[in-house]
Amino acid sequence: MGFNNALRSLIIFSTLVCGTAFALEQPIVVSFADQPINKFNQKLELAQQQDRSWSQQPESISAHYAGSSFQLAKVKKYQGKVVTYNVSGASEQHPKMLLILSMEKQKNRWKLDAARLTWQCKNGLHFGTDRCSNNH
């Protein structure tokens, strides 16, 4: 068994073992789709000027961007930024979605740097932007 096969087996094994609890320690993301952030940042700036409670902490900012169909799964600090991972449940019509938001504080105000969406097809081992088939 070559190194690449051993590594692939280890990744698959760790995903299967952790998959039931969402494996957010390190989800395997192979591709993502950038999501718009400019209008949200304008809304966030206004909310911070008005001292709206949701605009003060990364967790609540993340929840506001993600919406009610997503649940905050993890918050991580990375290179001076705060990265949040929000996950939605899978259904027969939709794959499990993962929304990754990166934000930082500039001049005492939060601002999104990036919003990236990726998903996991039914019985999939990784998150990506592949088309999911509706076949069971």
> Would you say residue 18 has pLDDT above 60?
no
- Give the model's confidence band at 71: pLDDT under 50 very low, under 70 low, under 90 confident, else very high: very high
- Would the pTM of this model clear 0.85, i.e. be above it? no
The pLDDT assigned to 6 comes to 38
**Is 65 within 8 Å of 115 (Cβ atoms)?**
yes
How would DSSP label each residue in 43-98? HHHHHHHTT-GGGSSHHHHHHHHH-TT-EEEEEEEETTEEEEEEE----SSS-EEE
How many residues comprise the chain?
A: 136
Rounded to an integer, the average pLDDT of 84-91 is 86
Q: What is the pLDDT of residue 26?
A: 64
Q: Is 16 helix (H, G, I), strand (E, B) or coil?
A: helix
Structural contact between residues 89 and 96, judged by C-beta atoms closer than 8 angstroms? yes
Residue 39, SS3 per DSSP: helix
Q: Which two tokens stand for residue 4?
A: 């690449």
Residue 75, pLDDT > 70, answer yes
Domain spans, the chain: 26-120
More confident of the two residues 46 and 3: 46
Class of domain 26-120: alpha beta
User: Averaged over 53-60, what is the pLDDT?
Assistant: 96
